[in-house]
């Protein structure tokens, strides 16, 4: 059965903007950074994803790549492979003014855990992950519990 609205208290996701939940701290690496170094960056920055800078001359959000902790685990036996080799472009992007419910749908439809957040000029300004969405959902659940 397909739902027209999300289950539970999360209908508020259609009232919250992506820009209010995204991480503006874009941890990134060059395209040629070896995967073992990407894992060090991830560990040192305490993040579960690293953005891979686009090819020279490209700057749109979709030109960036994303490496997740899952990607690194899958590429464990290729520690010297360049970062770009485990990313796919174009990356899934979402405008900073979109609502979180749209982001949730887009993540589900694209089977991705990360969206690169772009401004009106398609410039990458942050990243929205499933962890960010879960944080918001948790906050909404707590607020609903406190209201009862």
Cα 26 to Cα 114: distance, rounded to the nearest angstrom: 12
pTM: 0.84
The domains of the chain, with CATH numbers, are 8-147 (3.10.580.10)
Provide the pLDDT for residue 139. 82
Closest alpha carbon to 84 in 50, 47, 135:
50
Cα 131 to Cα 105: distance, rounded to the nearest angstrom: 15
Distances (CA, A) of 17 to 7, 96, 113, 121: 19, 7, 18, 18
Q: pLDDT tens per residue, the chain (148 residues)?
A: 343 444 555 578 888 999 999 999 999 999 999 999 999 999 999 999 999 999 888 888 889 999 999 999 999 999 999 999 998 778 899 999 999 999 999 999 999 999 999 999 999 999 999 999 999 988 887 765 655 5
């Amino acid at each position: 059965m397909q739902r027209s609205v999300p289950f539970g208290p999360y209908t508020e996701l259609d009232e919250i903007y992506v820009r209010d939940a995204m991480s503006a701290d874009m941890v990134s690496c060059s395209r040629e950074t070896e995967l073992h170094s990407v894992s060090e960056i991830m560990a040192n920055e305490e993040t579960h994803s690293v953005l891979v800078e686009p090819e020279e001359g490209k700057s749109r959000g979709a030109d960036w790549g994303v490496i997740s902790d899952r990607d690194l685990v899958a590429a464990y036996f290729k520690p010297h492979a360049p970062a770009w080799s485990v990313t796919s472009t174009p990356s899934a992007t979402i405008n900073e003014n979109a609502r979180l419910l749209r982001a949730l749908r887009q993540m589900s439809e694209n089977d991705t855990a990360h969206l690169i957040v772009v401004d009106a000029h398609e410039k990458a300004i942050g990243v929205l992950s499933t962890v960010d969405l879960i944080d918001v959902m948790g906050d909404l659940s707590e607020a609903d519990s406190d209201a009862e």
